[in-house]
Amino acid sequence: MLGSIAPEQLMQEIAHQHLFNQFWLSVFFVIPMVLVARAVVAGTRYSAILIIVVFGLAMGYLMVATGVSEPGLSDFPMLGMVAQTTIVALTATFFVGGQELRRIFLGEEVLQDQSVSYATEQVFLGTGRTQVIFIARAFLMLLGIGAGTAVILDTVPDTSLGRYYPLIAYMGLVIAVILIDYKATIANTRTYLHKGVAEIIAIMAVLGAGYLIAVWVSPLIALPQIFFVMLIAAGVGALLYRWEHGPAVRCLLFAGIPVVLAANFIIGGSRIGEAFALSGMDAVMAYGFFGQVFWMFGGIALLVFFGRTAATWNLGPGMAGALSHAGLTGACTAGDLGETASRRAPIMINIPFFGHIFVFSILAVSMEQGRLLMVPSVIVAVLGLGLTLYALRNLASARGDDAREVKALMQFSFGWQLTAVFGGLLLLAVANMSVANAMMATSSAMSHFGLFAAIQGGMAGPESQALIAFIFAMPFLVHPLVFFMFGRAMENDGQMPRLAVYVLALIGAAGVGVSMVLSLGAA
């Protein structure tokens, strides 16, 4: 029977099957992982992100160890597509952050959104009916928007799936638009669907504009696409501060980051053996691990001791913004740390992105020269430290006033981010670590979405681009400790244990010192 089929026809049929196999395999890898992670933490105050870390790294490692694939999982390009859509998930968060900034700075009052009431019956342990729909829709929307934007901008990669990008975009977006939970109570279904379509078009337009501006200004300064996407999305959010969210923004806020991280950690886990074999990676991973402990709990220690607050609704959003922290951002926006933290987090993660003009401009020139620009880095680090101290004084005097707390946390997020990024880069430069490795280590130590997305885009070279998924994932092993502490705080009426925070900050500082010694030994 097979002998009667022409070779060209046979290859075409295999290619068609490959497309749908990739789709269902990606669905099988990602969506069940998110659901299982939510089931594991059901009934607790802990975030599903920490379970996604462990399961994702383990799955990626086993896929290589058992011979199913090779490091990087090049046999699963659609999984790679999902992993590359970090910027899509963040665009929705930037938009909401812009809305919140407008409301706070101008004192705008907006009535509570009552356009949708979710169906809360549990389909899986820890996940309600509407939430399951959100997770599935987020997966499809990330694929559809990622593929559609690539087709429009003519940036389709040269992979086995490249020719199918228009079809992937069509399938993802059409199914995502009509995938609505019919048991949810919606005030006006037609308006709700129209809002979803408008939000998808707006997100693609923002991504396209950010890319074109980045290309346009690249001869002057090598700022990544995500910087301009943040500015545009936050600006649109400030203009449309009364916009009641449609299905696109709702699902990306709830499930966008967990879905993206699940795909990234699977790919990162596949590179575990490869990364450990490379010279100098032990220092990068050591700094990523202990730097995460130091910058996270060091920042919390400052907020507790000098800012006089141990409340999770301050500490969670403050540190999510200060470190552009992927895990805490996901935990806050998903509501794991309470409604106040969920409302404040989109504001905080927007603020430090204004400092990215320093981060990316200095790092771009540093990459060209092959060494860190010391004088500008010292200046920015000192400015960041000064702003941090100013913010702590304002937070201590806020005395529970919501507007004053938010403004102080915005100042802290900006100041501590500059301190952590450039303070860390300066420490690593003193330890003779290369600029590319220092960028990976810094992104890893802070779980910094901006640097991660920039390195994913090739800013630090092809080797760093290949390794960043694993290097970025490793410090997420600290996240069980981070979320354990926040979980204990939530069980203690939202108050963080103070002594434990101080001890962990000291352990992190000692570990950073060890990583510098390792880097000096490898130089």
Q: How many CB atoms lie within 10 A of CB 429?
A: 20
pLDDT at res. 512 = 92
Mean pLDDT value across residues 57-81: 87
Instruction: Answer whether residue 318 is part of any domain.
Output: yes
Which residues are CB-neighbours of 149 under 8 A, at least 6 positions away?
88, 155, 204, 207, 208, 211
Instruction: Answer whether residue 385 is part of any domain.
Output: yes
pLDDT at res. 312 = 85
pLDDT at res. 10 = 46
Separation of alpha carbons 446 and 452, rounded Å:
10
> How many structural domains comprise the chain?
1
Separation of alpha carbons 508 and 289, rounded Å:
9
Burial environment of residue 247 by CB neighbours within 10 A (0 to 12, 13 to 18, 19 or more)? buried
- The first and second tokens of residue 382, run together, are 């000192």
The C-alpha torsion from 306 through 311 and 314 to 318, rounded to 10°, is 70
Instruction: Answer whether residue 85 is part of any domain.
Output: no
Instruction: Answer whether residue 23 is part of any domain.
Output: no
pLDDT at res. 506 = 95
Which residues are CB-neighbours of 232 under 8 A, at least 6 positions away?
206, 209, 210
Instruction: Answer whether residue 237 is part of any domain.
Output: no
Q: How many CB atoms lie within 10 A of CB 2?
A: 5
Cα-Cα end-to-end distance for the chain: 62
Tell me which of 154-158, 206-210, 456-460 is least confident: 456-460
pLDDT digits (tens, 9 = 90+) for 424-455: 999 999 998 888 888 988 888 887 777 787 78
pLDDT at res. 521 = 72
Instruction: Answer whether residue 316 is part of any domain.
Output: yes
For every residue of 254-269, which 3-state class applies, written as one string? Answer: HHHHHHHHHHHHHHHH
The tally of CA atoms less than 13 A away on the side-chain side of residue 321 is 34
Separation of alpha carbons 312 and 187, rounded Å:
34
Q: Is the pLDDT of residue 2 over 50?
A: no
Separation of alpha carbons 469 and 270, rounded Å:
9
Task: Check: pTM over 0.95? Answer yes or no.
Answer: no
pLDDT digits (tens, 9 = 90+) for 106-151: 766 766 667 777 777 888 888 888 888 999 999 999 999 999 999 9
Angstrom distances, CA of residue 173 to CA of 90, 149, 179, 191, 248: 18, 12, 10, 18, 10
For residue 400, give the 3-state DSSP assignment: coil
Torsions phi, psi for 422 (to 5 deg): -80, -30
- Decide: 406 and 347 in contact? Cβ < 8 Å: yes
What is the domain extent for residue 419? 309-497
* Mean confidence (pLDDT) of the chain: 83
For residue 451, give the 3-state DSSP assignment: helix
pLDDT at res. 1 = 45
pLDDT at res. 203 = 95
Choose from 11-20, 186-195, 197-206, 220-229 the range with maximum mean pLDDT: 197-206
Torsions phi, psi for 116 (to 5 deg): -140, 135
User: What ranges in 110-224 are assigned the alpha helix state H?
Assistant: 129-153, 165-178, 189-217
Angle between helices 49-65 and 479-491 (to 10 degrees): 160
Separation of alpha carbons 383 and 406, rounded Å:
20
Residue type, 449: F
- Decide: 339 and 308 in contact? Cβ < 8 Å: no
Residue type, 79: L
291 against 11, higher pLDDT? 291
Instruction: Answer whether residue 251 is part of any domain.
Output: no
Torsions phi, psi for 325 (to 5 deg): -80, 115
Instruction: Answer whether residue 14 is part of any domain.
Output: no
